[in-house]
Amino acid sequence: MTEWLIDLGNTRLKCAPLQADGRAGEGFAVPHDGQALPADWADALPPRVDAVALASVAREALRTAVLRTLAGRCGRVVRVRTEAVFDGMRIAYARPERLGVDRFLALVGAHARGPGPWLVAGVGTALTVDLLDAQGVHRGGRIAPAPALMRESLHRRAPHLPAEGGRYTAFAADTDDALASGCLGAACALVQASAVEAEALLGAPPRLLVHGGGAAALLAGLPAATAAPHLVMEGLARWAGRTRRPARSG
């Protein structure tokens, strides 16, 4: 049986096969502009796929386009949704559907790595920080603009401020470096403050995992962090391996 995992984000679509051992295999990623996917995005998939587990936080039109493409080569598609309780983990939200499925799957992936506490930081369009205690209880999280979005927002309001470029330094001597330092520094400070507050809440320091397309820049400023570039896909593989239910498209 050929099963694939698809994570459709706001700027990238990630695909990987589900291996016999329940882990995600080597896959591929396709960047997109948030409006449409490249016409050939599925060329790297096998001609025929038995099943797909699809997680999506992208706009409806993109998800529909993916489903339309899969309909010609896939036997069944299962849409992944955030669950209140899964695999011994309990979500903090009273309305679990309001927790993004990418955050949910990152928590699933962290929980599958072993007992917490875990602090999970995702760096994409937004910066998200979620706390999972040693009992698998999600204690909640935070959402802020990621550094790239901070830069883009400043550039839109003040076009003379560049939307990218510069390097991090404690006290910058030019505008490009000052922007890079301020936006990266703000993101790192939020994560570090969350770690301090998590330890005060739980009585033990959490292990910090950082994932997402913008993770590399933050990791340089978070020496205690562990890079987890495929954490959402790890969670998606865990979900697919633990969930055996009739599939539904859409």
Instruction: Report the DSSP pairing between strands 118-123 and 126-132.
Output: antiparallel
Write the secondary structure of 40-77 as one string of H (helix), E (strand) and C (coil). Answer: CHHHHCCCCEEEEEEEECCCHHHHHHHHHHHHCCEEEE
What are the tens digits of pLDDT across the range 98-145?
999 999 999 999 999 999 999 999 999 999 999 999 999 999 999 999
- The angle that helices 231-242 and 101-112 make with each other, rounded to 10 degrees, is 80
- Residue 72: pLDDT band by 50, 70, 90 thresholds? confident
Dist CA 184 CA 35 (whole Å): 27
Domains and CATH numbers, the chain: 3-82+235-242 (3.30.420.40), 94-230 (3.30.420.40)
Q: What is the pLDDT of residue 75?
A: 87
pLDDT at 245 over 80: no
Q: Does the active-site annotation cover 87?
A: no
Report the SS3 class of residue 97: helix
Query: Residue 203: beta bridge partners?
Result: none
Dist CA 228 CA 109 (whole Å): 10
Distances (CA, A) of 99 to 92, 159, 227: 9, 34, 23
What are the tens digits of pLDDT across the range 11-37?
999 999 999 999 999 999 999 998 999
What are the tens digits of pLDDT across the range 214-223?
999 999 999 9
Q: Which of 102, 133, 174, 176 is catalytic?
A: 102
Dist CA 46 CA 33 (whole Å): 24
Query: Residue 86: beta bridge partners?
Result: 89
Note whether 211 and 120 are within 8 A (CB).
yes
